[in-house]
Chain A
């Protein structure tokens, strides 16, 4: 682990002064008398204890997150980890038992129902695992739905909807019904519906989980491409660690309703905080997860024949070693900030292989 002291490199600060979404000590207990169960939980009892004693299910256990603007923040967890419960707290589809939630500087829990409606109509949009499209409406009317609830006139909202239908690549399907589309197409409608709201914050609840692997991969790429021009704050929920690594700027791992680890993808891959996370890491394609920036030898070396941007992944740089021993690492301006060679990459990739006996 010693060579990886340069892990904490010049990445953007983890928590800027003005995060888009802040959750503080958010706890959710499902059941008829959550307060009693909360008291037990505060005494330090485990989730299983609380459930055995009171029959109440702990959905979220003291979750605190800071989600910076303009990044894709992935919350990853297996089913039952509370990740879908978590995302529903941000727009208060679920009321927490305790805690505080601040979105764009506004305290979501202090809002009246009218303010909450206003907040949902104007500040935040959501994409759902099961799409949640209105089956009795055409594609274009589905995409315009959010604008309609906002009170935008028919001509304007249809124009905007048509624009976003084009962007997600569904032009020509405007008058189709959702059920006439494939799963991937339906989720594009869901995405267009959320994007048409033109909000700074986008919530995506296992948005791609119901799709076939190939379609899912295509949607992930499309999301990244859109994000590069939109720069929204995206809170993305997934159970798929590979997906988290692919699209996340930051990842929080959730288990039993509690946050296990928060960090950049490669931080989690290289330094899993506990055995649970390591289990994910073991199966993951590390070549895709790790940026060459994190494995490079930092410093001013003589320029290499071959060079890659610092954001490149190990899998991108591997083929270069066929011809070159060293590959330069460039920062955003094209200046060489370090270099890598095959050994370093292989070491990073092999690090947590079970054969190493590392735990």
Chain B
């Protein structure tokens, strides 16, 4: 046994009391600050649920066709979505999709600027990298509990936890993509008197787009991986079905909902990857993963 050198109880109490103090004094403000996120999530959810199933399927099959110009991927997308419908999982799938889309959109808005900032300053990179490591390795329950205490169980903590978990790959890949832009092209651009903003938007981001898209793909996948955990704190959707299946020892319910998550993952993964490849082909440089 490791000898007890210090008394950790005061430290723990300080952390617990500190959180309690934040919840008492700042709970309302924090909830108000997160409200736009909830609005976004609810709006997407309502939109998806209101969309007729055939329109949803037609849209994604069309998207898959535009991305690949052949019928294999659209067929896979079609079968995956039909499976969700036949298994009576459509509504849950829409709720899960909404959570994933809302988390991905928020992650994009936050992560890409952070990635840009990291790519331009070695110091920022040194500071952000350990934070990203922490976000990816800290068990999500650890930050789930305080978020639930602050926001109460429901969609906001589920969404926040998903964003925290899903953002790091996008930040890393944005940084990587921007740094890996051919230095010869960057230098040529500089020699023609461009400002650093012109180089960022005119050269770096277009050339890093395949890598950034790979990051978005990773983010969607990680967001989907969080749905079961998110459903524990009230996110609903397919994850909730899995959770109920476990609770009631209904293997079939858990299995079908789980397969539904896989179907969604395949649909979104393949479509985003196909677009990544397409952009990469158009540019003819850079690498997707």
Which chain A residue shows the least CB distance to B198? A149
- Report the stretch among B1-9, B13-21, B67-75, B180-188 that lies at the interface: B180-188
A117-B193, A149-B193, A149-B198 known; A136 vs B187 contact (CB < 8 Å) = no
- Residues 140-158 of chain A: 1 if any B CB is under 8 Å from the residue's CB, otherwise 0? 0000011001100000000
Over the window 188-200 of chain B, the binary record of Cβ atoms lying under 8 Å from chain A Cβ atoms (1 yes, 0 no) is: 1111111100100
Q: Does B283 contact A130, Cβ atoms closer than 8 Å?
A: no
Q: A177-B284, A179-B284 are in contact. Are A132 and B185 (CB under 8 A)?
A: yes
Binding stretch for chain B, among A75-83, A119-127, A351-359: A119-127
In contact, A136 and B184 (Cβ under 8 angstroms): no
Contact of B206 among A136, A179, A197 (CB under 8 A): A136
Is B135 located at the chain interface by the 8 A CB criterion?
no
Number of A-B contacts defined by CB within 8 Å: 69
Contact of A133 with B by CB under 8 A: yes
Determine if B207 is an interface residue (Cβ-Cβ < 8 Å): yes
Out of B187, B193, B206, name the residue touching A121 (CB < 8 Å).
Answer: B193
Identify whether the interface residues of B are mostly helix, strand, loop, or mixed.
helix
Q: How large is the interface on A (under 10, 10 to 19, 20 to 34, 35 or more residues)?
A: 20 to 34
In the complex the two chains form, what is the Cα distance from A34 to B206 in whole Å?
Answer: 36
A135 engages B185 (CB within 8 Å): yes
Q: B-facing mask of A104-136, CB < 8 A → 1, else 0?
A: 000000000000111111100110111111111
Q: Does the CB pair A134–B203 fall under 8 Å?
A: yes
Cα distance A121–B184 in the bound complex, in angstroms: 18
Are A120 and B284 closer than 8 Å at their CB atoms? no
- Asked whether any CB of chain B lies closer than 8 Å to the CB of A238, the reply is no
Interchain CB contact under 8 A, A135 and B207: yes
Partner of B184, one of A125, A128, A149: A128
| Pair A121/B192 contact, Cβ less than 8 Å | yes
Spell out A's residues near B (CB within 8 Å): 91, 93, 116-122, 125-126, 128-136, 145-146, 149-150, 177-179, 197, 203
Interface residues of B (CB under 8 A from A): 182, 184-185, 187-195, 198, 202-203, 206-207, 282-285
A-B contact pairs, 28 of them (CB 8 A): A93-B187, A93-B190, A117-B193, A118-B193, A120-B191, A120-B193, A121-B193, A122-B193, A126-B188, A128-B187, A128-B188, A130-B182, A130-B184, A131-B184, A132-B182, A132-B184, A132-B185, A132-B188, A132-B191, A134-B203, A135-B283, A135-B284, A136-B207, A145-B189, A146-B192, A149-B194, A177-B282, A179-B284
